[in-house]
Structure 1
Amino acid sequence: MGVVIQVRIPSRVDKPGSSPVKQCNQENLLPAPLVLPSVHELDLFRCFQPVLIHIQMLWELMLLGEPMVVMAPSPSVSSELVLALTSCLAPLRYCCDFRPYFTIHDSEFKEYTTRTQAPPNIVVGVTNPFFIKTLQHWPHILRVGELRMAGDLPKQVKVKKLAKLKTLDTKPGIYTSYKTFLHKDKTLIKRLLKGIQRKRPSEVQSALLRRHLLELTQSFIIPLEHYMASLMPLQRAITPWKNPPQIRPFCQEDFMKSLEHAGPQLTCVLKGDWLGLYRRFFKSPNFDGWFRQRHREMSQKLEALHLEAICEADIVAWMKDKSEVEIVDLVLKLREKLVSPSLLLLLPFSGWRQIPATGHTCALENLGSSGSSVLV
């Protein structure tokens, strides 16, 4: 139909929130293409325009992985708003489930509408008014109208009690009893309002909003990153003759104590109950997902350092004054290391490669400047 749609499928190595590389030098022989943006390139300002004054609350609800229903007049509005909500935590990955457009025909319909158990950690976008009645027991419900980019800031929805969510013609609003841990950022709202008055492009408004959310998330996550890094064993504790040392356990109370001198107040001007927000965050799937990912990365780093220590060790010299039992124990440990799947990923970085071996043995070859050496 004369329209070219360019789609870039996100890669696993992409950083959340980053923009794809735009090919400017490519000659366009067809009509001007319609570039389909990724999930992380939504028009945030347009999506959040009716709830701008509540952006702090929505960010906290997403951070804590709270169950939320987005009720919208059309699938496109519900989808955009759900995706905007789940992307506002960048660079922190949203680890809960989300359904941009949920209908009564979905297989989880009965599970989500039952009142016998608490709602799951999920954000669902719906359009059917029937859900107003069936999802009344959900703790957070956001009802919005059509999203339009008008000359003035659209009327902001109000926070209302869930008890008022009864009729099918429920007015737009955030129906929740949630109390935010942090105060609103009035400076941000003023900047966006000035932008509307000066007819600032929507792309610029969205960039301001995304930068604010990015800095807010970074202020929250940086203390966690610093504390997690402190749990890593020292490199001098890694020896080729023993298994790599363990990462120290994450102690919530120790982390809370560290906030006194290295908390988010160093990088964020927002006041409020940061400690309470962290305690609530520890119970969320987002913390579990973040912790598992960081722990996995640190474990891989330890394995790489341990392999490097083995490669650089003079095993022949070590064996001279050791008993047969100690030597056999070392050989068994090295064999276990050689057959581990993670080894194949680490070998190229240490100058070793795996070579064929007979029977049940494994072998590594190191092609260094002093010639070839083999470790079996």
Structure 2
Amino acid sequence: MDALDGFGSPRHEDMAAADSADGRTAWARFSSWLECVCVVTFDLELGQAIEMVYPQDVRLTEKEKTSICYLSFPDSYSGCLGDTQFTFRLRQSVGRRASREDANDRDAPVTLQRETAHFLGYVYFRQVKDVSVKRGYFQKSLVLVSRLPYTHLFHSLLQIIAPEFFEKLEPCLETVCNEIDQWPTPTPGQTLNLPVMGVMLQVRIPSRTDKAGGSPVRQTAENLLPAPTVLPTIHELDLFRCFQSVLIHLQMFWELTLLGEPLVVMAPSPTVCSEMVLALTSSIGPLRFCCDFRPYFTIHDSEFREYTTRTQAPPNVVLGVTNPFFIKTFQSWPHIIRLGELRMAGDLPKQLKVKKLSKLKTLDTKPGIYTAYKTFLHKDKILIKRLLKGIQRRRPSEVQSAILRRHLLELTQSFIIPLERYMASLMPLQRSVTPWKTPPQIRPFSQDHFLSTLEHAGPQLTSLQRGDWMGLYRKFFRSPNFDGWYRQRHREMTQKLDSLHLEMICDADLLGWTKDKSEVEIVDLILKLREKLIKARRQQLQVRGGVLDRLDLFITSVVGSLPADLQAVLNAR
């Protein structure tokens, strides 16, 4: 059968729950949304400390707990009085068992798939004067820890539960966690109603098949009490608010993000720096940002030494910081955005200027963009004028953001479509896939060959933007974002070939083939088919209905026709 070689601690008592009648394990729904909820407080002797964690038996390592503590409080330089919301991202501890593959990720846009090696922390921090406390201030953070990048949803959720929690504390948190455990799982393409503390949130989970830049969620016609609060998005930020002081530099920021350049965002508060980092990393959607990024980064971070060493080039990471100490630490970094409080020039936001990096080395603390980067493409002056005119006409921020998002989406699509088209040309023809041979290989990606196609099939077909597109592609090929995109597309195409091969095997006359074959050849076929079936189920291959069951039936039938000793060997494997 050589021709087939290619087959180739207990929870809180009130929260404890046994497996429910429908067979799902306790807390399975909760864990499909959140890893845990943490309360971080300031202890006079210990400093920042975790006061409580729900569910109580969640397995966080000491290193992860320490990171959550430091990342959940604004830096003392931020001077955040009142309520502050921001986002952080931390690396999971080495040796942590990888989270099980989530079936929903396959149908989610790549930019909204759950994190596999990091946690995201969504923070609601409160600091108010309190004479009953020794330090004179009440300081506490409520933190939602998740693998899902649902920024808008989780911050909206915090706005509902945090004020109530700070009044009632633990019993309130217990109730909320139980409510979240009743939520339906976040299935792409579905509109869900999520009840919490007397409020009904209605959200739509985006699907991979959604039209890019499509319309937001519309309220469903169900008669719900209470009337639902419809969130138009689960993940999008107010891009206009983030970019309003740098509108004239949008092209530069898009290119720096696309190329995965090392970038530091310095800002007066964790809210501003974390939103700016998330706005940057989302600006190249639907392309996934494949470099590391830390919306809020502190000197206590376990990667601090790794990111600030001067013995090697800065890593491909986007960092958001607030501590002025970083001005000196990041002097060797090639791109630094220093944001200040928004200033107006008449009725328009004052735009930050590009400054030489040497200026930063004199500890110039003025806002500005410190870089020597020259863009490959020209600015879109029509877009900038349209946005500035929108400010003068008091166009709502959400409309300005929609204009911005549409522009960035179209720019990224113009860049990525030629790559997608070329990648598709590397796929073997369907007629070259046969049941009795190894599926043919996807042809290798030739950068030179791709560049030669740009003259007739380049971005100029869909974009009016002018400049050195070819130079931009050449630099993109050396970035982690290209590597991540290529690996993902190659994996998807390989799975498509495997699915096609399985369907063809199923349609072939396998029983007829076995009639004149030796037992050794038949056993070889059985083992290879079993291997392919295991792989297909593990990868959740998209195959025609019934294909896997029919192949299972064929294997059972053929094994049953073999001598008893061979059956015993095969059934024991």
TM-score normalised to the size of structure 2?
A: 0.57
Structure 2 letter corresponding to 1:79:
S
SS at the partner of 2:313?
A: coil
Pick which of 206-215 and 148-157 moved more. 148-157
Spell out the pairing of 1:276-295 with structure 2 (5 A cutoff). 276-295=471-490
Per-residue deviation at 1:29? 3.7
Partner of 1:257: 452
1:352–1:365 CA contact under 8 A, matched in 2: no
Partner of 1:191: 386
1:365 to 553, 558, 561: 553
Pick which of 166-175 and 264-273 moved more. 166-175
Report percent identity of matched pairs: 70
Pick which of 164-173 and 292-301 moved more. 164-173
Partner of 1:182: 377
Distance, in Å, in 1 between the alignment partners of 2:540 and 2:332 is 49
Per-residue deviation at 1:190? 1.0
* CA deviations over 1:133-182 (Å, ceiling 9, x no partner): 11100010001113479983211111111000034452111101111100
Distance, in Å, in 1 between the alignment partners of 2:341 and 2:202 is 26
Spell out the pairing of 1:43-82 with structure 2 (5 A cutoff). 43-82=238-277
Distance, in Å, in 1 between the alignment partners of 2:288 and 2:224 is 36
Where does structure 1 lack aligned partners over 5 or more consecutive residues?
356-362, 367-372
Per-residue deviation at 1:35? 5.3
Distance, in Å, in 1 between the alignment partners of 2:203 and 2:314 is 34
Distance, in Å, in 2 between the alignment partners of 1:133 and 1:109 is 14
2:290–2:481 CA contact under 8 A, matched in 1: yes
2:204–2:217 CA contact under 8 A, matched in 1: no
SS at the partner of 2:553?
A: strand
Aligned length: 361
Structure 1 residue 222 corresponds to structure 2 residue 410 = no
TM-score normalised to the size of structure 1?
A: 0.86
1:347–1:353 CA contact under 8 A, matched in 2: no
Per-residue deviation at 1:49? 0.5
* CA deviations over 1:69-94 (Å, ceiling 9, x no partner): 00101110001111100110110011
1:120 to 315, 320, 341: 315
Per-residue deviation at 1:210? 0.4
Alpha carbons of 1:285 and 1:348: their partners in 2 closer, same or farther (altered >3 Å)? Answer: closer
Distance, in Å, in 2 between the alignment partners of 1:241 and 1:235 is 14
Structure 1 residue 157 corresponds to structure 2 residue 352 = yes
Structure 2 letter corresponding to 1:96:
C
1:49–1:153 CA contact under 8 A, matched in 2: no
Structure 1 residue 274 corresponds to structure 2 residue 469 = yes
Alpha carbons of 1:347 and 1:27: their partners in 2 closer, same or farther (altered >3 Å)? Answer: closer
Alpha carbons of 1:104 and 1:34: their partners in 2 closer, same or farther (altered >3 Å)? Answer: farther
Per-residue deviation at 1:119? 1.0
SS at the partner of 1:295?
A: helix
Alpha carbons of 1:116 and 1:10: their partners in 2 closer, same or farther (altered >3 Å)? Answer: farther
Per-residue deviation at 1:109? 1.3
2:200–2:226 CA contact under 8 A, matched in 1: no
Spell out the pairing of 1:317-328 with structure 2 (5 A cutoff). 317-318=512-513
Query: How large is the RMSD of aligned CA atoms in angstroms?
Result: 3.1
Alpha carbons of 1:76 and 1:44: their partners in 2 closer, same or farther (altered >3 Å)? Answer: same
Distance, in Å, in 2 between the alignment partners of 1:315 and 1:27 is 55
Distance, in Å, in 2 between the alignment partners of 1:33 and 1:337 is 47
SS at the partner of 1:174?
A: strand
Alpha carbons of 1:327 and 1:22: their partners in 2 closer, same or farther (altered >3 Å)? Answer: same
Alpha carbons of 1:45 and 1:233: their partners in 2 closer, same or farther (altered >3 Å)? Answer: same
SS at the partner of 1:276?
A: helix
Distance, in Å, in 2 between the alignment partners of 1:281 and 1:309 is 38
SS at the partner of 2:435?
A: coil
Distance, in Å, in 2 between the alignment partners of 1:220 and 1:207 is 20
Per-residue deviation at 1:127? 0.7
